[in-house]
A and B are shown apart, each in its own frame.
Chain A
Amino acid sequence: METINEKFAAIRKGLLEFLVLKIVAADKVYVADILKTLGATDFATQEGTLYPLLSKMRREGIVEYEWKESEAGPPRKYYRLTAKGEKELEETQDYWQHIITTIKKIGK
């Protein structure tokens, strides 16, 4: 039997971009910060997934980064939301709200 956790694996993966948007919108962040924030939740993810996702989001123009020198080690990418990203986040949040309302309304 599939557990609830397994059943929702695909949904969690699909929602990852939404959550990254939310995290980046709240504050300028490094990749390590995103991983740490997500690490404490059901949405825990890894570099292997996050880097390709961030690069896709950057290509779509919803996030951008600047290089920032860190005290220890090489300069790192510091991500923030673009204006387009803000709009995207707003739309996604509305849509998510819409989905939740629909689920609540249907059936039992």
Chain B
Amino acid sequence: MNKVTTINLNGKAYQIEEAAYTVLHTYLEQAATKLEGNPDKEEIIADLEQAIGEKCSKFLTPHKNVVSAKEIEQVLKEMGPVDGAKDTTEDSSTEGTTGEKSGPKKFYLIREGALWSGVCTGLSAYFDMDLTLVRIIFVALTIITHGAWILVYFIMSMIVPHANTSEEKAAAHGAPFNAQELMNRARENWDHWNKKEWKKNWKEEKRKWKHQRKYEERYYHHNHHSVLDSLVAMVWIVFFVCLALVISHHTAEVNTVANEIASFFKNLYNNLPFNKS
């Protein structure tokens, strides 16, 4: 037994399962993102909705008036990923007819599962490395560099952008971003958790995205990755260069602080249970 939702596809009502709704919603949202900047965006989406509706009708009979999640997946598979106007030429070289294995990878900060700022989670996704290992390496680097690595860490956490949209999240893992992949991921989640928990998680995730998008729109004036973004990054870099200059004028004090940090870790290490002889 599954809950059913009524949706409006280009002016016609359809009843679909809730799981089907999430998949469809993601597909259309992704289509809208891809068509961003296209003057005919609304019209193309209306066309797509109509085509989806017509494909759904094929699954409906007088005795069956609900479209299931499986059927929606079938429909979206037939529709195929939506070609963005901007990157059609770029994509054509990498995107085969069946979709590529992995998308371009980018270094992003990932908030999910992060302890502090998401630098480690981002790097572990970027290098496909174990998160704990990345953290251990970071601690080791901090000790080796007498604490200077913490500065680098903070610089990274300031200038590397956060993975906010689902597209960026996919890029952070180097995963392809298309409907098929989204459905696979949704399906995986569905299998892993029980339905109730999955739904809760999904809703939360969606709310988060929505919230982040609102935030982005408010502060970046609809201009994702705009000049403002790079300007903010530049300001941070300048700030840190100045900070580094100031620190270099007080090397003695910095050395004491670094030594203290180093000796703290040394003490910590020496006091570990397995080092006690």
- B78, B97, B179: the one contacting A9 at CB < 8 Å is B97
Chain A residue contacts of B80, Cβ below 8 A = 45-49
- Give Cα distance in the complex from A46 to B88, angstroms: 14
Chain A residue contacts of B84, Cβ below 8 A = 52
Q: Are A48 and B92 in contact (CB under 8 A)?
A: no
Residue A22 interfacial (CB < 8 Å): no
Q: Are B83 and A52 in contact (CB under 8 A)?
A: yes
- A44, A47, A48, A73: the one contacting B57 at CB < 8 Å is A73
- Give Cα distance in the complex from A31 to B50, angstroms: 12
Nearest-neighbour CB distance to chain A for B248, whole angstroms, equals 51
Q: Are B78 and A47 in contact (CB under 8 A)?
A: yes
- Give Cα distance in the complex from A96 to B236, angstroms: 53
Nearest-neighbour CB distance to chain B for A33, whole angstroms, equals 13
Binds B, one of A10-18, A85-93, A100-108: A10-18
Residue B234 interfacial (CB < 8 Å): no
Residue B12 interfacial (CB < 8 Å): yes
Chain A residue contacts of B43, Cβ below 8 A = 55
- Give Cα distance in the complex from A12 to B85, angstroms: 17
- Give Cα distance in the complex from A74 to B53, angstroms: 10
16 inter-chain pairs at a CB distance below 8 angstroms, sorted by A residue, are A12-B97, A46-B79, A47-B47, A47-B79, A48-B48, A48-B80, A48-B82, A48-B83, A49-B80, A51-B51, A52-B82, A55-B40, A74-B10, A74-B12, A74-B50, A76-B50
Nearest-neighbour CB distance to chain A for B217, whole angstroms, equals 24
Residue B273 interfacial (CB < 8 Å): no
Chain A residue contacts of B78, Cβ below 8 A = 46-47
Residues of B within 8 A of A (CB): 10-12, 31, 35, 38-40, 43-44, 47-48, 50-51, 54, 57, 78-85, 88, 92-93, 95-97, 179
Q: Are A52 and B85 in contact (CB under 8 A)?
A: yes
B-facing residues in A19-67 (Cβ within 8 Å): 31, 44-49, 51-53, 55-56, 58-59
- Give Cα distance in the complex from A51 to B82, angstroms: 9
- Give Cα distance in the complex from A10 to B48, angstroms: 24
Chain B residue contacts of A47, Cβ below 8 A = 47-48, 51, 78-80
Chain A residue contacts of B88, Cβ below 8 A = 52
Closest 9 CB pairs of A and B: A46-B80, A48-B80, A55-B40, A48-B82, A9-B96, A13-B92, A47-B51, A10-B92, A52-B83
